[in-house]
Every structure is written in C-alpha cells, then in structure tokens.
C-alpha cells in the first residue's frame, strides 16, 4: 500500500528528466485533482479550525475533559500537516526533483500516525464509561501527558523512518498500525455505546462523564467511518485493481478521505461546543452563560 504510494512520489531512479506525478496519471487525473482540492480544503479550513480548538481548550482548561490533552496534541499534529499543500502541489504538478519529497514523506508519516491519538481518546472514554473506578484511580492528567509524549515519540520515529524511504517492507508497518487502530477504536466505541445504552432510557439522568463520552463517541465514530474506513476497506484488495488504477484512483481516493480528517476532526469537535461569539452576537434568547 505505502510502497505503491512511495513509488509514485519518488521512483528509485528519479532524475530531473522524469515525469511528474501528474504526468504519470495524465490519462486519469480526476481523482488526483480531487485529492489536491481536499488538501487545500485542509489548509484553508483545517488550520483555523484546529487553532480554534487549541484556543477553546486553553480557555476552558479549568473545565476540560480528560481527553482534551490528546485532542490538543492531535490538533497540533493536524496544523503541521495542513501546512504542506503548496509544497505538495508544486511537487506533484511541476517538480521532478526528489529532495523535497523527503520533507513531504515526513509529514505523511506524521499523518499516518494520527490514529494513535484518536485511539488514546477512545481508550480514555472507554475507561471512563466501562471502568469508572479505574478511571477515577488514573484521573491524574500527568498520566495522560506521559502517554502523549510516548505517542509523539512513536510518531516522530515512524515519520523519520518513512522519510528515509528505502526501508524494506516498511509499508507493512502502516498496514498493521492502521488496521490495529481501526479495530481498537471500533471496539472501544461499540463498548461505550453498549454501556451508555444500559444506562436507561432517560438520557437526562446520565452521569456527566457519560454525557461527555457519548458526545465524543459520536465524533470518533463519524471520523472512523468517513475518514479511515476507505483505506482499511480498499487496500487489502489492491491486487484486484490494475497498477495504474490503483496508483491514480484508489490510492488518492483513500488517502484524500483519510487526510480530510484534519478538517473533519476539529469541525466536529467545535460543533459540540458553545462558541462565545455565536451566543453574544445574536442575543435573541434570555439564556445567560454562566
């Protein structure tokens, strides 16, 4: 899967006279153009949305969820990834040099690893709902800060290894990581929904921790299905497609949706929050914010 991706981006015998990625897909450029459009949506929507997430977490840190530390780090990672579309456009459409692809592969590696932070969010919500006593024992945020540091180390090591680009069978690492994270997140969310369903028909009586978990589960489920299911579902059937179709269609379709999570994640997070200006600019209700 990733091996094909890297062969498109940087062939082994790359030289200044070789074709660009766009030229190699000139007979079927539709999905490649669609992919680039999604990347620029990430830049123009994802950067301000993730900055707003960071601002809200900082502003409400006294009343924040235990998962917010992972959401914060995920927003930082997505902001970094959302900076690359101009360089990516230049390398796909115009440039044939191999040097700039080292930078892009590093950022691709960071984005490949982003499900690790989503998995941490799922695990935190899972423990809070399914094992509340254990959750109370490990509620100290220092534990989560340590986990976040460990995840960043894994991400940076993976990104650096992908940046090198010549590690044999490295694509299997991504395959194992994305499949494991996907199955783990699905398990956590199904378990959470099952426990919340057993809480009774009256949702108003649900514990505040479970209410937060329920909102987070909805966000994570949308992200998982919309953004991460396509690569999980399509790449195992790579041999069913011709090399050109897989490289120019399937690959960019799946990674385009996966990369779009850099915008979908913060927008869905913000949709669950009460933005101060949206309430103060339209004072049509007598409700006051405490």
pLDDT score of 43: 94
Q: Report the alpha-carbon distance of residue 54 to residue 68 in Å, rounded.
A: 10
Taking only the tens place, the pLDDT of each residue in 162-186 is: 888 778 778 778 878 888 998 998 8
pLDDT score of 269: 84
pLDDT score of 184: 92
3-state secondary structure 77-131: HHHHHCCCHHHHHHHHHHCCCCHHHHHHHHHHHHHHCCHHHHHHHHHHHHHHHHC
Mean pLDDT across the chain: 79
Q: How confident is the model at residue 284 (pLDDT cuts 50, 70, 90)?
A: very low
Residue 188 has pLDDT above 50, yes or no: yes
Q: How confident is the model at residue 9 (pLDDT cuts 50, 70, 90)?
A: very low
Q: Which residue has the higher pLDDT, 181 or 271?
A: 181
Taking only the tens place, the pLDDT of each residue in 106-164 is: 999 999 999 999 999 889 888 888 888 888 887 777 888 899 999 999 999 999 998 88
Residue 289 has pLDDT above 50, yes or no: no
Taking only the tens place, the pLDDT of each residue in 225-241 is: 888 888 877 777 777 77
Do 252 and 35 contact (CB within 8 A), yes or no? yes
Instruction: Spell out the domain ranges in the chain.
Output: 28-272
Burial class (CB in 10 A: 0-12, 13-18, 19+), 103: middle
71-89 CB burial, b ≥16 within 10 A, e <16: bbbbbbbbbbbbebbeebe
pLDDT score of 13: 36
Q: Report the alpha-carbon distance of residue 225 to residue 227 in Å, rounded.
A: 6
Residue labelled with tokens 């505040």: 208
Per the document, the length of the chain is: 290
- Supply the CATH classification number for the domain 28-272: 1.20.1070.10
Residue 38 has pLDDT above 80, yes or no: yes
């Amino acid at each position: 899967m990733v091996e094909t991706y890297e062969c498109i981006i940087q062939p082994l015998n790359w030289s200044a006279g070789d074709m660009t990625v766009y030229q190699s897909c000139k007979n079927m450029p539709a999905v490649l153009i669609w992919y680039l459009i999604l990347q620029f949506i990430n830049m123009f929507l994802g950067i301000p949305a993730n900055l707003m997430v960071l601002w809200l977490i900082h502003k409400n840190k006294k009343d924040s969820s235990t998962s917010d530390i992972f959401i914060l780090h995920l927003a930082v990672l997505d902001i970094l990834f959302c900076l690359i579309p101009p360089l990516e456009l230049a390398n796909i459409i115009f440039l044939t040099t191999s040097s700039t692809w080292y930078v892009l592969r590093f950022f691709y590696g960071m984005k490949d690893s982003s499900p690790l932070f989503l998995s941490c969010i799922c695990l935190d919500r899972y423990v809070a709902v399914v094992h509340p006593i254990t959750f109370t024992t490990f509620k100290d945020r220092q534990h989560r800060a340590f986990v976040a540091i460990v995840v960043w180390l894994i991400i940076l090591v993976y990104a650096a290894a992908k940046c090198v680009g010549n590690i044999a069978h490295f694509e299997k690492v991504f395959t194992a990581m994305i499949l494991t994270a996907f199955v783990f997140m699905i398990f956590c969310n199904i378990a959470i929904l099952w426990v919340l369903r057993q809480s009774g028909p009256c949702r108003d009586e649900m514990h505040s921790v479970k209410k937060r978990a329920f909102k987070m589960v909805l966000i994570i489920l949308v992200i998982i299905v919309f953004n991460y299911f396509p690569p999980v579902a399509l790449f195992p059937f790579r041999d069913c497609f011709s090399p050109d179709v897989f490289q120019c269609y399937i690959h960019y379709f799946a990674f385009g949706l996966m990369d779009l999570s850099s915008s979908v994640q913060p927008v869905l997070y913000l949709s669950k929050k009460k933005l101060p200006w949206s309430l103060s600019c339209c004072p049509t209700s007598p409700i006051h914010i405490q």
